[in-house]
Structure 1
Amino acid sequence: MERGYVPTILVTNDDGIDAPGLRALVRAIVSTDRYNVQVCAPDSEKSAVSHGITWRHPVSAKRIDIDGATAFAVSGTPADCTSLGISQALFPIIADLVVSGINMGSNCGYHIVYSGTVAGAREAFFNGLPSVSISYDWVGGKSNINDYTLAAEACLPIISAILAEVRNQTYPQRCFLNIDLPTDVANHKGYKLTKQGKGIFMMGWKQVTSNMEGGKMLSTMTMEANSEESAETESSSLLPEHLLFKREVRGALIDDDDTDHKFLLEGYITVTPLAALSPADKDCHAFFQDWLPSVAGRPSLSAL
């Protein structure tokens, strides 16, 4: 970077452009008066869409007023938003750093695979740009909206340090960072370098009789505004050929090892380097190394 150059940061998320986590992050970055800030985020909530992209149809982008930033709300996924934001089709300048978040809820362990927040950062990594995903471990009854501001401020030193390394051309290009902030972010214990664990919520399914059951509309179902159509939708849900099912949490698999979720619960700001590749454990590779040559000598199903 040239002397006097103002770095550009692109901010995205999966909770939507109006989410308090994104707004707090943008305010914190803008308040430093050190960066050119772009925002390209979904126009509605896109949580748990993983790394889905829009392929067959165009996406729309609408200019949104956010103080200190040039912002657009996009009809696509978090990965779409990052891809569009760094393409120079929307912004004339390609960002030096992509920051995705701040997500409402942690993204540790296997949840990283589901996360649209992490995907927003991963998409930048796919395109050779430094990136960070940020999540706050929101807990109902304990957390409040001001915690997003504290979380954003706690991440500013990391953002600044990354851009310093980028300027010096010393930042590693084979990973991106996933950051999780503890619930009691005001009293966090500092940064902790961690590795991705295997923790996950164990999910099940429950049959429901209405797509409004549980007080929330199922994301895969749509209630029409017309009351007659709404009534028809609900009554048809009782028919055998139109069954409705809703996910529910039935437990959790928690890591005992020194991983991201463990240290997050201990009050640390966890910093986990990630990559796009997901190599299997060594013992799995060893098993298939012996197993695969034997497959060729086995009869095919059609020969049985």
Structure 2
Amino acid sequence: MEETGKPTILVTNDDGIHAPGLRALVQVLVAANRYNVQVAAPDSEKSAVSHCITLFRPVTAKQINIDGATAFAISGTPADCTSLGISKELFPTVADLVVSGINMGSNCGYHIVFSGTVAGAREAFFNDIPSISISYDWVKGKSDPHDFTLSAQECLPIISAMLVEIKNQTYVRRCFLNVDVPTNVATHKGYKLTKQGRSCVKMGWNQVTSETQGQKMTSHMTMDTETTAPTQMYSSSVLPGHLIFKRQVTGAQHDADDHDYKFLEEGYITVTPLAALANVEGDCHAYFKDILLKVSEHSSRQ
């Protein structure tokens, strides 16, 4: 905690430093006048990069102006941004809390594995710093950029409660939080503690045969043509022997049980504790125990 007595929050994301979700979150944190706000976020779109880190080339950081905050645009991944942000190389103090978001699109179920937003929070968890990832369930035709501000305001009580626990040294550091805000944030049903489910959008591949304008695919893996995110061009000028393919949504699977995605769809703000380790179900261990016994018996006979 800095000499001002205010706790310090580091904000990152995967949509890029100019994304409306990050800007809304920073604006709400600054307006609260209770925090020192640092920003270390990708200089461009880095959605669905998971926990990718930059190893074999340097990253650059450029200070930019965001009112009320000290902010840097970084050429690396969300995990890079968090790592650099808490290293004392960019900022003189290490943040008390890292907040990653607000992402355009939900991050529930198996999509948590793909999410750069969640990775930004997970990287802080790896370094024993409390963290939270926040995503808004953006739906084309229903959502509005102002919904990011509403989402930030509704998550402020969670952020404040975490900081009280951190100050009192009572915060449990064995997990970090993943928060998803429903589409109709203005009429949400309250906060719901949930578990990570198995919901996932299925994707296949489609060969691109002509120059095609790319679109942002939000983290719930639905194509969105009305975002302000940078677009990507797929050139029709392909070297001999090369083909171009792009992903396409082919279907979806959702949980039958009461997990994060189901409650989000019902209109709750879901709060899901996560950890770095995924513990498999007991029957998987029993299955592979039998397999290894058979392998050992086969090896001993040779």
> Deviation digits for residues 37-58 of structure 1, max 9, x if unmatched?
0000000000000000000111
Q: Could you tell me how far apart the structure 2 residues matched to 1:153 and 1:29 are?
A: 9
Are the structure 2 counterparts of residues 76 and 110 from structure 1 closer, same or farther at C-alpha, using a change threshold of 3 Å? same
The residue that corresponds to 1:134 in the other structure is 134
The residue that corresponds to 2:236 in the other structure is 234
Are the structure 2 counterparts of residues 3 and 60 from structure 1 closer, same or farther at C-alpha, using a change threshold of 3 Å? closer
Say whether residues 1:99 and 2:99 are aligned partners.
yes
1:259-274 equivalent positions in 2, closer than 5 A: 259-274=259-274
1:166-205 equivalent positions in 2, closer than 5 A: 166-205=166-205
Say whether residues 1:216 and 2:218 are aligned partners.
no
Q: Could you tell me how far apart the structure 1 residues matched to 2:95 and 2:285 are?
A: 39
1:98-177 equivalent positions in 2, closer than 5 A: 98-177=98-177
Q: Could you tell me how far apart the structure 1 residues matched to 2:2 and 2:46 are?
A: 37
Tell me the CA shift for residue 6 of structure 1.
1.2
CA contact (8 A) 2:41 2:81 kept: yes
> Deviation digits for residues 7-49 of structure 1, max 9, x if unmatched?
0000000000000000000000011101000000000000000
Could you tell me which runs of 5 or more consecutive residues in structure 1 were left unpaired when the two chains were aligned. Answer: 224-229
Say whether residues 1:81 and 2:109 are aligned partners.
no
State the TM-score, normalizing by the size of structure 2. 0.91
Q: Could you tell me how far apart the structure 2 residues matched to 1:13 and 1:189 are?
A: 26
Q: Could you tell me how far apart the structure 1 residues matched to 2:46 and 2:216 are?
A: 13
CA contact (8 A) 2:214 2:232 kept: no
Tell me the CA shift for residue 290 of structure 1.
2.6
CA contact (8 A) 2:2 2:93 kept: no
Tell me the CA shift for residue 256 of structure 1.
1.0
Aligned partner of 2:165: which letter?
E
SS of 2:192's partner is strand
Q: Could you tell me how far apart the structure 1 residues matched to 2:249 and 2:191 are?
A: 30
CA contact (8 A) 1:209 1:244 kept: yes
> Deviation digits for residues 166-204 of structure 1, max 9, x if unmatched?
011111000000000000000000100000000000111
CA contact (8 A) 1:8 1:96 kept: yes
Q: Could you tell me how far apart the structure 2 residues matched to 1:131 and 1:198 are?
A: 23
> Deviation digits for residues 55-102 of structure 1, max 9, x if unmatched?
011100000100000000000000000000000011010000000000
Are the structure 2 counterparts of residues 279 and 222 from structure 1 closer, same or farther at C-alpha, using a change threshold of 3 Å? same
Aligned partner of 2:100: which letter?
S
Q: Could you tell me how far apart the structure 2 residues matched to 1:236 and 1:88 are?
A: 44
CA contact (8 A) 2:201 2:249 kept: yes
Tell me the CA shift for residue 289 of structure 1.
2.1
Tell me the CA shift for residue 293 of structure 1.
2.4
CA contact (8 A) 2:2 2:8 kept: no
> Deviation digits for residues 192-235 of structure 1, max 9, x if unmatched?
0000000000111111113x42x31799x986xxxxxx9xx524
Tell me the CA shift for residue 103 of structure 1.
0.1
Are the structure 2 counterparts of residues 218 and 191 from structure 1 closer, same or farther at C-alpha, using a change threshold of 3 Å? closer
How many pairs are equivalent? 288
CA contact (8 A) 2:78 2:120 kept: yes
Q: Percent identity?
A: 68
1:56-67 equivalent positions in 2, closer than 5 A: 56-67=56-67
The residue that corresponds to 1:40 in the other structure is 40
CA contact (8 A) 1:218 1:246 kept: no
Q: Could you tell me how far apart the structure 1 residues matched to 2:175 and 2:69 are?
A: 27
Q: Could you tell me how far apart the structure 2 residues matched to 1:153 and 1:39 are?
A: 18
Higher Cα Rg, which structure: 1
Are the structure 2 counterparts of residues 222 and 6 from structure 1 closer, same or farther at C-alpha, using a change threshold of 3 Å? closer
Q: Could you tell me how far apart the structure 2 residues matched to 1:123 and 1:183 are?
A: 27
The residue that corresponds to 1:227 in the other structure is none
Q: Could you tell me how far apart the structure 2 residues matched to 1:8 and 1:295 are?
A: 54
SS of 1:71's partner is strand
> After the TM superposition, which segments of 4 or more aligned residues of structure 1 sit over 6 Å from their partners?
1-4
The residue that corresponds to 1:257 in the other structure is 257
Superposition RMSD on alpha carbons, in Å?
2.1
